[in-house]
A = this chain, B = another copy of it.
Amino acid sequence: MTTTNSSEVSQTAPSVLPRRFLRQLLFLGLSRSDRSYGYELAEAVRSYGLNIDMAGVYRELRSMEQKDLLTSSWESSDNGPDRRVYMVTPLGSDALATAVAELRLARDQLSAALEDADTP
């Protein structure tokens, strides 16, 4: 079961952070190691507390590659099947900076809204 324990979790909010942020979060992950692959990136994102859909991760990475933000190559693993390893392109590097800025802005907007709610 790749996509986790479906039946127990699903009610209405399967993941709190929308996948709209998926691109940005994947960029974040890639900026740390500058050489990673889908499964590993997903683990990183999960470590922040969100549950994401592997299918979406793989699709998004492909999409980013098609837009020349990433390049990929196959690599073998010692303890499992081969991996498609991604690297950020120069073009992707610009997009990465934008992505981080967007995440920061999003966080600030959320904070502003919540702060406003906290002080009645």
Closest to A111 in B: B107
> Mostly helix, strand, loop or mixed at chain A's interface?
helix
Inter-chain contact B48/A102, CB cutoff 8 Å: no
A 84-108 contacts with B by CB, 8 A: 100, 102-108
* A103 CA to B111 CA, complexed, in Å: 9
Cβ of A113 within 8 Å of any chain B Cβ, yes or no, is yes
Known A18-B20, A112-B49; contact A32-B106, beta-carbon cutoff 8 A? no
Give the 9 A-B CB pairs with smallest separation, nearest first.
A18-B20, A107-B110, A18-B18, A48-B112, A48-B113, A49-B109, A16-B105, A16-B106, A28-B117
Number of interface residues of A (CB under 8 A): 31
Among B18, B32, B102, B114, the residue within 8 A (CB) of A107 is: B114
> What copy number does this chain have within its complex?
2
What are the interface flags for A20-48 relative to B under an 8 Å C-beta threshold, 1 for contact and 0 otherwise? 11000100100110000000000001001
Known: A18-B20, A32-B120. A110 touches B110 (CB 8 A): yes
A13 and chain B: residue at smallest CB distance: B102
A82 at the interface (CB under 8 A from B): no
